[in-house]
């Protein structure tokens, strides 16, 4: 019995004993990074450029049920699913879709509300009897995929990465520019150079308005729904419009001019909102903390001049 107990004690004594458990590094979620934020955008641009063909008839996108399925529902659904897997792997759902605080610049809400008004004005201009009901149902699904994917990629993952290295004003500006530049890929799919460049500027301004929607609501849901609603009216009208209907085309032109004004205001609102968010950072750089005199005073008495010997 004694031998057994002694052997047990000796075996226990030979074990390695540590005073504290080893510190484990936190590997998930992945810390925000500019390169990680840019990666989905670069990958999507590369795949889109590889799939695009100059012979594609871009103006007819979404004109028929088959076109909606092939050009919107299937590819955008796959893209959103892949991006959702990536965001889940990164652990970025919270930081990519929710802002910690809403912006107090309430007058900036005029921009997203103006976009909502434009979307509502487009609905009566769509000829709902020109195409079957399934077309509009599939178009709804397709534009929701487009809105969810593009917003999660640009106003979500990209914005998280940009905020890691840039102030909020820089993150706003770069995200808008990259969102607009992303539409240059339409030229590879058969769109004209002139309309493509116009769409790039239009998309950049639209991106600023969607940024405002996110900052005011504190969530990515509002930009997703606005983006989808905008695309629904745009594609739905172009698919059902009659070239000879001058009255309807005139109304569309007036709505278009109004939308230009709304998006221009969206650019100004986004810039002011982001600049205001950077104010504490600018103040920290301007006024640095000065240590108190007690920290540099000679212990045991007041500071004295050195004695000359």
Percentage of residues of the chain with pLDDT beyond 70:
80
Full DSSP string of the chain: -HHHHHHHHHHHHTS---SSPPPPP--SSPPP-HHHHHHHHHHHHHHHHHH--TTS-GGGTTSSHHHHIIIIIHHHHHHHHHHHHHHHHHT-HHHHHB-SS--S-GGGGHHHHHHHHHHHHHGGGS-TTSS-HHHHHHHHHHHHHHHHHHHIIIIIIIHHHHHHHS-HHHHHHHHHHHHHHGGGGGGGGT--HHHHHHHHHHHHHHHHHHHHHHHHHSBSHHHHHHHHHHHHHHHHHHHH--TT-HHHHHHHHHHHHHHHHHHHHHHHHHHHHHHHHTHHHHHHHHSPPPPPHHHHSPTTS---PPPP-
Q: What is the pLDDT of residues 209-246, one digit of tens each?
A: 999 999 999 999 999 999 999 999 999 999 988 877 78
pLDDT tens, N- to C-terminus, the chain (309 residues) = 444 544 544 454 445 545 555 555 556 688 999 999 999 999 999 998 888 776 566 667 788 999 999 989 999 999 999 999 999 999 999 999 999 889 999 999 999 999 999 999 999 999 999 999 999 999 999 999 999 999 999 999 999 999 999 999 999 999 999 999 999 988 887 778 888 899 999 999 999 999 999 999 999 999 999 999 999 999 999 998 887 778 888 998 999 999 999 999 999 999 999 999 887 766 666 655 555 655 555 455 555 555 555
């Amino acid at each position: 019995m004694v031998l057994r107990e002694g052997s047990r004690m000796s075996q226990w004594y030979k074990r390695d004993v540590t005073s504290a458990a080893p510190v484990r590094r936190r590997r998930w979620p992945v810390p925000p990074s500019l390169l990680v934020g840019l990666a989905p955008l670069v990958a999507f641009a590369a795949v889109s450029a590889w799939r695009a063909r100059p012979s594609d008839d871009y103006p007819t996108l979404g004109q028929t049920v088959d076109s909606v399925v092939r050009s919107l529902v299937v590819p955008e659904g796959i893209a959103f699913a892949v991006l959702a897997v990536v965001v889940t792997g990164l652990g970025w759902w919270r930081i990519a879709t929710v802002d910690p605080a809403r912006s107090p610049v309430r007058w900036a809400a005029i921009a997203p509300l103006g976009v909502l008004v434009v979307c509502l004005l487009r609905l009566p201009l769509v000829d709902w009897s020109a195409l079957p009901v399934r077309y509009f149902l599939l178009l709804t699904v397709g534009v929701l995929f487009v809105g969810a994917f593009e917003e999660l990629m640009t106003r979500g993952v990209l914005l998280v990465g940009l905020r890691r290295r840039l102030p909020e004003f820089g993150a706003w500006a770069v995200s808008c520019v990259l969102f607009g530049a992303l539409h240059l890929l339409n030229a590879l799919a058969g769109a004209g150079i002139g309309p493509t460049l116009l769409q790039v500027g239009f998309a950049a301004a639209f991106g600023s308005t969607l940024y405002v929607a996110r900052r005011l609501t504190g969530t990515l849901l509002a930009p997703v729904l606005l983006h989808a609603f905008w695309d629904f009216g745009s594609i739905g009208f172009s698919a059902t419009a009659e070239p000879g209907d001058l009255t309807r085309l005139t109304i569309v032109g007036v709505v278009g001019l109004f939308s230009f004004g709304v998006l221009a205001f969206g650019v100004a609102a986004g810039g002011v909102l982001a600049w205001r968010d950077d104010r504490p950072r600018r103040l920290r750089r301007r006024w640095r903390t000065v240590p108190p005199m007690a920290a540099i005073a000679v212990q045991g008495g007041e500071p004295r001049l050195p004695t000359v010997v």
